[in-house]
Chains A and B, each alone.
Chain A
Amino acid sequence: MTGSATILMLERCMTYKADEEHPLLVLEDYRIGFKTERGLAKAVDGVSLSLKRGQTLGIVGESGSGKTVLNRGVIGLLSARNTVESGSAKFEGEELVGENRQTFWGTKMAMIFQDPMTSLNPVMKVGNQVMEPLRQHQKLSRSEAKKRVADIFTLVGIPEPIKRLDQYPHELSGGMRQRVMIAIALAIEPDLLIADEPTTSLDVTVQKYILDLLTRVQKEQGMSMVLITHDLGVARGRADEILVMYGGRVMEHASTEDLFKKMSHPYTSALFSSIPHLHHKKHTRLTPIPGTPPDIIEPPTGCRFAPRCTYAQERCLLESPPMTHQGNHRFACFFPIGSQQGQEALTRNQQRGHTASGLQIRKKTEAT
């Protein structure tokens, strides 16, 4: 980052104010494909979204849904050789697609990875790893940086921060390591933080602490956050808006409240049913989603979720449903839950015992 680049960036910041009116991050028909022997793997197949400053967007989906690829693509960490990026992704008004994003890393964008053990360099002291972006981007001296890191450690709840500075990742517990990761993000004070399954590898009590911490930091710094998770429950508590992805596409997108009040896409509902809830009685059977994720190199025509959807009709197999907009709530389904068409579709399937794609339906549906 040279001096002139910094000046350019400052200029841009001044001319473009990301605020309530102008979103921080806008994606339009954003696509990412991987070149493979068998063809182009369309990991992200046309995602559009908009994220405002200070907002938290939860992206929910199974593994293979494209959520991780999406985020790595946006931040620019995917290998350029095998990837094909298209569409538009604007950060603070600036187009990212096709551009080198190194200037954003460690300054305006930060990412937290899923597994803190493998994401921290095992042979580097923890303190140094946090100090690195500080010294590089903010040009702090060694002692200044050290002090700052110690402060941040205290902020994220790491006891004995001075001592920890000189420790190695394997000397810390999983929860601590994740806190270190968050410390790295904090130190950068980014405008956008992408948290990729930040709590999946931690136990439940630590989970809560970490998520609370993230939310707190976010409020304090006015940072926008993208929270990626496969757990709808986690997203519910922390996100302002939730985006549901499947097979590289957006299935449903709404504010958290709306989503849970009026769940429209069968996939969202299926996701919701497949996790345990507090109000479940003991020994309530969970309903996993039958089937496997789609082949992203040669995806089926029609709706991606159709093969596994209990509502699927013939139309779903032939046509890909466009986005239906209901105010700020959008979903991609011909037969959404709660609608008349949806109800009819479900009944039809239940009566004949299977969906249009051959999925068997048991007459008795589990109450949730």
Chain B
Amino acid sequence: MTTHEEEIDDVSLLGSSDETLAIGLEPKKKLGFGFWLSAFWVVLIALLAILAPILPIKDPSENYIVTETAENLRGDLVEKPVQPPYPLSGKHLLGTDKDARDMLSRTIFGARISLAVGFITAFLGLAIGGSLGMLAGYFKGWLDKIISALFLVSLSFPGLILAILVVSLLDRSLWTISITIGILAIAPVGRLARAQTITFAEREFVIAAETLGAKRSRIILREMLPNVLIPMATLSMLVVAIAIVAEGALAFLGLSVQKTATWGKLILTGSDMNSLESAPWIAFVPIAFLFFTVAALNYMSDRLRDYFDVREMYDL
């Protein structure tokens, strides 16, 4: 019983006495092994996705039906097709789906769209959101009020529903979807950019530049951009992760890009009762890929934030 109690006792039940405060462990500021592992994964997936067409993997749309000798009704030996889906094997590293399409290659090809959406979204969010945020933060006044109000409205509304709405009204191409999700990403990025800009606008080096008569645009570009970029880079990784998830959700609902399969779509096809019961890997392979990618991005964003100590820059 003593050990149990001692455990709970642990959390700094020390109060704020001067003496005890002075004794502390400095948090380590390395990025850590996990970070590089995650980064490795993300880069790997991205490369696989980009290079997919020329990789030595099977064709994602071809049906690799295998035949075997068996007796037919009349007792003759014939070649009969083996009913897919096929489990993991030497020929199909991650198995096949119901139509005997190789899962590994389908997943890799699926990555192309999923990741593409992710990065386009992040890019949009950064470019537009970042710019708007910086403008709002630097110039303040009514410009700030308008932009902030826009941000607030955007943030306050469940994005998925809006996305569904837009997707339903327009076509379902890669670009439409990316832009839709991208527009939703503008607000969070923009808000952060604005907060950062406001903090930095008051720092000395900016005021120094202003007094020297530097043009405003120059100030924004030269002085603030580099400082604002770091936390935005951290955030953008998160944005990519969220975008991938959002696209996945849309696909799962049947509302994503039409022609090719994305991860969400793959998961969907693998999730009906029959498949799950007999061939769970059809769903779990894309799930695994999705999870690892998103987790990796999240983790990287976490570590970056700790490393650059972004948190303390949030005070307005």
Contacts and interface: CB of A to CB of B under 8 A. Distances in A.
Direct contact, A vs B (beta carbon within 8 Å): yes
Interface of A: 34, 36-37, 41, 43, 63-64, 66, 68-69, 72, 77-81, 100, 102, 113, 118
In this complex, which of B14, B18, B25, B26 has the most chain A Cβ atoms within 10 angstroms of its Cβ? Answer: B14
A41 B11 contact: no
Contacts of A63: 18-19
A64 B23 contact: no
Interface in B20-55: 20, 22-26
A331 B206 CA distance: 59
Given A81-B6, A100-B2, A100-B5, A43 B11 contact: no
A69 B9 contact: no
B5 A43 contact: no
B25 A36 contact: yes
Contact of B16 (A77, A79, A100, A118): A118
B25 A37 contact: yes
B25 to A, nearest CB: 6
In this complex, which of B13, B19, B24, B26 has the most chain A Cβ atoms within 10 angstroms of its Cβ? Answer: B19
Contacts of B26: 37
A69 B5 contact: no
B19 A69 contact: yes
Question: What is the predominant secondary structure among interface residues of chain B facing chain A?
Answer: loop
A68 B25 contact: no
Which A-B residue pairs are the 6 nearest by beta carbons? Answer: A63-B18, A80-B6, A81-B10, A68-B17, A36-B23, A34-B23
B19 to A, nearest CB: 5
Contacts, number: 48
Contact of A72 (B5, B17, B22): B17
Given A36-B25, A37-B25, A113-B15, A80 B20 contact: no
Nearest to A102: B5
A100 B12 CA distance: 17
A68 B13 contact: no
A43 B19 CA distance: 8
B9 A64 contact: no
Nearest to A113: B15
A34 B17 CA distance: 14
Contact of A64 (B6, B12, B19, B24): B19
A311 to B, nearest CB: 26
9 contacts: A43-B20, A68-B17, A68-B19, A79-B11, A79-B12, A80-B9, A81-B9, A100-B2, A100-B5
A220 B26 CA distance: 48
Nearest to B2: A100
B13 A69 contact: no
Contacts of A41: 23
Interface string B174-211: 00000000000000000000000000000000000000
A64 B16 contact: no
B13 A77 contact: yes
Nearest to B12: A79
Contacts of A37: 25-26
A41 B25 CA distance: 13
B15 A69 contact: no
Contacts of A113: 15
B11 to A, nearest CB: 7
A80 B23 CA distance: 15
Contacts of B2: 100
A337 B21 CA distance: 35
Contacts of B11: 79
A79 B19 contact: no
Interface string B157-181: 0000000000000000000000000
A69 B25 contact: no
B12 to A, nearest CB: 6
A34 B6 CA distance: 16
A66 B9 contact: no
Contacts of A69: 17, 19-20
Nearest to A81: B10
B18 A79 contact: no
B112 to A, nearest CB: 48
Nearest to A118: B16
A242 to B, nearest CB: 20
A77 B23 CA distance: 17
Contacts of B20: 34, 43, 68-69
A81 to B, nearest CB: 5
B10 A78 contact: no
A184 to B, nearest CB: 16
Nearest to A119: B15
Nearest to B1: A100
Contacts of B19: 43, 63-64, 66, 68-69
Nearest to A67: B19
Contacts of B5: 100, 102
B15 to A, nearest CB: 7
Given A63-B19, A68-B18, A102-B5, 15 more contacts: A36-B23, A36-B25, A43-B20, A64-B18, A72-B17, A78-B14, A79-B11, A79-B12, A79-B13, A79-B14, A80-B9, A81-B6, A81-B9, A81-B10, A100-B2
Contacts of A43: 19-20
A91 B11 CA distance: 26
Contacts of B15: 72, 77, 113
Contacts of A36: 23-25
Nearest to A62: B18
Nearest to A70: B19
Nearest to B22: A64
A41 B14 CA distance: 15
A81 B2 CA distance: 12
Nearest to B25: A37
